[in-house]
């Protein structure tokens, strides 16, 4: 199953492969083994199966050609922590406590006291209860600690993965000493300002001392601020090194085995670990999730793939990802061959990685081609904890509508992105609340470029359907912005929206 991840950039793809059980699988050979391959930030337009011919990605495109493409499968969020949480639980991030209201968007430190609650039911827990061996290789980014650095309450093993080999956090610019992350910038700002103020104090005190206006001793009254400025400046310069050691490390279960992680060698490490896991559990059904570091910035690529593509560092990283996927497909289970779902099918049912109240839908009938996926009538689009839009599939007219209560102020206008900022804003002056919600017909306008101007009866019908759903089906979901609110202060164009999903055909 190839996930086009068309909700909002950054995008993701998901591969579901069913491997036949090994010959020693015991009395239940009909139970398949599951291998899930997950990657962040892969764009819809990067794949040959969706129109791009400029990258050499035969394994990804082969899976899309021979398998099932869910062209309406939407990521629950545009950043790692909330989208991964929804993927594991089938619940909106706002139900899980995996969203913020301060602009941070995701977990900011590996040692932060927070993460995916262990009360949540992950599919690893469900499969483990059914006798499956469960494993996670690669990126987690759903929390680690609670009360102390060794209290791993949010660790993958506490979410019923039998084994974990990977990074508990995520890739950031600091990981490779590249451009600083937003948290590093926030920390360096006060340090640099303090150093400048102390340096200014030093200059003033030294001038007063030299001119005789101030009868101060050089030590510590005059030189003290200079020492403080030097200390703050050194701390600011060394902050990146500290973050690398604090956040960028490799764990096997609860043990740190490499700190900091040598990222250039991580691809080979993860592939060897995946092969070892599959061979280790060939006598019993297993579930393995491989969560790649690709193609997340800062684009960690092995030297063998440097300069191999026609799209610089990003293209190199995508092509290495394809090689890793191909290597995963080549893994053999006791002489048996890997098998993914081969039905050469394209499904346009509206689905999401997200009713306990689980918000997700069962995709297996569509993946196995035993039935067409029912999909969602409604999908809620949150920005942090704020409901910004709702998508409605009207099955009577076979039309997909999307109602926007708010949109970010894109920069540059019309681009569908917020360049120069860590992320598009969910509130404040860089976000516009619409006096009347914008309505898009995604069936005719999948790029959301033309808000529907009339007739008003259509607006009222869609608004009434969405309001009924929010009152009756999602009472605990965060309430939407009022249908008639005061517009925001910015003058951005609401026409270009970050959602680039393709419509369901009529």
With a cut of 90, say whether residue 358 has pLDDT above it.
no
Catalytic residue among 3, 59, 73, 141: 141
141 is known as an active-site residue:
yes
Q: What is the pTM of this model?
A: 0.82
Got the DSSP string for 195-218? HHHHHHHHHHHHHHHHHTS----I
Calculate the average pLDDT of the chain: 79
Please give the pLDDT value at position 346: 57
Please give the pLDDT value at position 139: 94
- At 31-43, the pLDDT tens digits run 888 999 999 888 7
Distances (CA, A) of 58 to 53, 162, 468: 11, 32, 46
Q: In a 3-state reduction of DSSP, which class is residue 505?
A: coil
Residue 391 neighbours by CB distance under 10 Å: 24
- At 74-129, the pLDDT tens digits run 788 888 889 999 999 989 888 888 887 776 777 888 888 889 998 999 999 999 99
DSSP character at residue 482:
P
Q: Would you state the structure tokens that stand for residue 51, as one six-digit string?
A: 């129109």
d(CA 124, CA 159): 7
Percent of the chain whose predicted confidence (pLDDT) is above 90: 30
With a cut of 50, say whether residue 391 has pLDDT above it.
yes
- At 450-479, the pLDDT tens digits run 899 877 899 999 999 999 888 886 544 444
Give bridge partners of residue 6 from the DSSP assignment.
none
d(CA 144, CA 256): 12
d(CA 328, CA 127): 21
Residue 449 neighbours by CB distance under 10 Å: 12
Catalytic residue among 6, 73, 80, 294: 80
Degrees to nearest 5, angle at CA 148 with 98 and 385? 15
Q: In a 3-state reduction of DSSP, which class is residue 251?
A: strand
Please give the pLDDT value at position 185: 84
d(CA 207, CA 245): 41
């Amino acid at each position: 199953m190839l996930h086009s991840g068309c909700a909002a950039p950054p995008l993701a793809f998901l591969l579901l492969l069913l491997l036949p059980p090994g010959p020693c699988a015991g009395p239940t050979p009909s139970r398949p083994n599951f291998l899930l391959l997950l990657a962040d930030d892969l764009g819809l337009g990067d794949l040959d199966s969706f129109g791009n011919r400029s990258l050499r990605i035969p394994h990804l495109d082969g899976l899309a050609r021979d398998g099932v493409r869910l062209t309406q499968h939407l990521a629950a969020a545009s950043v790692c922590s909330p989208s991964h949480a929804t993927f594991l639980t089938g619940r909106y991030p706002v139900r899980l406590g995996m969203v913020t209201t301060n602009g941070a968007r995701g977990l900011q430190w590996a040692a932060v006291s927070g993460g995916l609650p262990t009360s949540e039911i992950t599919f690893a827990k469900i499969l483990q209860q059914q006798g499956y061996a469960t494993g996670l290789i690669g990126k987690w980014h759903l929390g680690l600690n609670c009360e102390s650095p060794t209290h791993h309450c949010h660790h993958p093993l506490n979410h019923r993965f039998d084994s974990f080999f990977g990074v508990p956090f995520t890739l950031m610019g600091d990981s490779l000493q590249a451009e600083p992350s937003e948290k590093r910038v926030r920390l360096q700002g006060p340090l640099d300002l303090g150093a400048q103020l102390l340096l200014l104090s030093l200059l003033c005190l030294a001038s007063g001392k030299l001119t005789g206006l101030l009868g101060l001793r050089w030590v510590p009254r005059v030189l003290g601020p200079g020492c403080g400025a030097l200390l703050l400046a050194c701390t600011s310069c060394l902050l990146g090194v500290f973050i690398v050691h604090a956040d960028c490390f490799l764990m096997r279960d609860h043990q740190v085995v490499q700190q900091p992680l040598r990222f250039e060698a991580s691809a080979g490490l993860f592939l060897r670990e995946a092969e070892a896991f599959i061979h280790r559990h060939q006598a019993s059904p297993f579930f393995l999730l491989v969560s790649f570091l690709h193609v997340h910035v800062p684009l960690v690529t092995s030297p063998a793939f440097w300069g191999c593509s026609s799209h610089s560092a990003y293209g190199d990283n995508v092509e290495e990802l394809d090689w890793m996927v191909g290597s995963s497909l080549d893994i053999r289970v006791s002489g048996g061959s890997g098998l993914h779902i081969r039905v050469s099918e394209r499904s346009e049912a509206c689905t999401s990685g997200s009713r306990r109240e689980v918000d997700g839908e069962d995709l297996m009938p569509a993946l196995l081609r035993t039935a067409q996926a029912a999909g969602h009538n409604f999908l809620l689009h949150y920005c942090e904890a704020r409901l910004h839009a709702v998508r409605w599939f009207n099955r009577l007219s076979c039309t997909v509508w999307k109602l926007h209560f708010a949109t970010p102020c894109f920069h540059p206008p019309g681009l569908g992105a917020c360049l120069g900022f860590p992320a598009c804003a969910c509130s404040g002056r860089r976000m516009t609340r619409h006096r009347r919600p914008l309505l898009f017909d995604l069936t005719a306008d999948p790029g959301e470029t033309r808000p529907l101007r009339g007739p008003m009866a259509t607006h009222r019908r869609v608004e009434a359907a969405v309001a009924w759903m929010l009152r009756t089906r999602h009472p605990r979901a965060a309430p939407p912005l009022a249908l008639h609110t005061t517009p925001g202060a910015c003058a951005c164009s609401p026409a270009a929206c970050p959602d680039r999903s393709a419509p369901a055909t009529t």
